[in-house]
Copies of this chain bind each other. A is one copy, B any other.
Amino acid sequence: MYEQLTHYLNSQIKVSEEELKIIHSFFRPLKLKKNELLVTHGQTSQRTFFVGKGCLRIFFINEEGQDATRYFAFEDQFATALVSFITGEPSEEFIQAAEDSELLYITHKDFYHLLEVIPQWEKFYRHYLEKAYVNNTKRLMSFLTQDATEKYRQLLNENPIIVRRLPNKMVASYLNISQETLSRLKSKV
């Protein structure tokens, strides 16, 4: 799994063998069964996860107990409760294994430590933030301007893996529509 991580890091930044070793030393492995929770509501000390195998789901829940999914991270992607990670405030986001998963994680403290000792890590974080921002803003646009059918069509085009690998319930939660509506869409579109 550390090889996957190396590969991913090399695609983003230029780091020496030496630096790579340091980075690796802060990442620890973790196995999760489907549905296990990694971050619970209100938790403050955040970790950042790298998905080696499986899938993580980041979501929030409103007062009536309905959940809305913000992001799915599959193999070779990072995932974190980023708002809480940035602000240090208790998380309103949960992280859950959507499938049996194998992960690497780094603590918030160590992540910030890397920002100081590995100059390229600042760049890595910047790219991470930029991608997260672009992704979120596109989702925001989608919710503001598209109806259920359009959202589903776009998902099929841009992220078919979500539809293929995950149960309707989670896809519906990602699109912020009901399972019934998604089911009806599937039979029509």
A residues near B, CB below 8 A?
Answer: 60, 62-63, 66, 68, 70, 82-83, 86-87, 92, 122-123, 125-126, 129-130, 132-134, 136-141, 143-146, 176
Determine the chain B residues whose CB is within 8 A of the CB of A62 once the complex forms: 144-146
Task: Please tell me which one of the listed residues B126, B139, B145 contacts residue A60 in the complex, with CB atoms under 8 A apart.
Answer: B145
B126–A122 CB distance below 8 A: yes
Total identical chains: 2
The reply to whether A133 and B143 contact each other, CB–CB distance below 8 Å, is no
Q: Distance in Å from the Cβ of A41 to the closest Cβ of chain B?
A: 13
- State whether A136 touches B134 (Cβ < 8 A): no
Q: A83-B134, A126-B126 provided; 9 other pairs, C-beta below 8 A? A: A60-B141, A62-B145, A68-B144, A70-B140, A82-B137, A132-B133, A133-B133, A136-B136, A136-B140
**Residues of chain B within 8 A of A146, CB atoms compared:** 62
Contact B68 A145 (CB under 8 A): yes
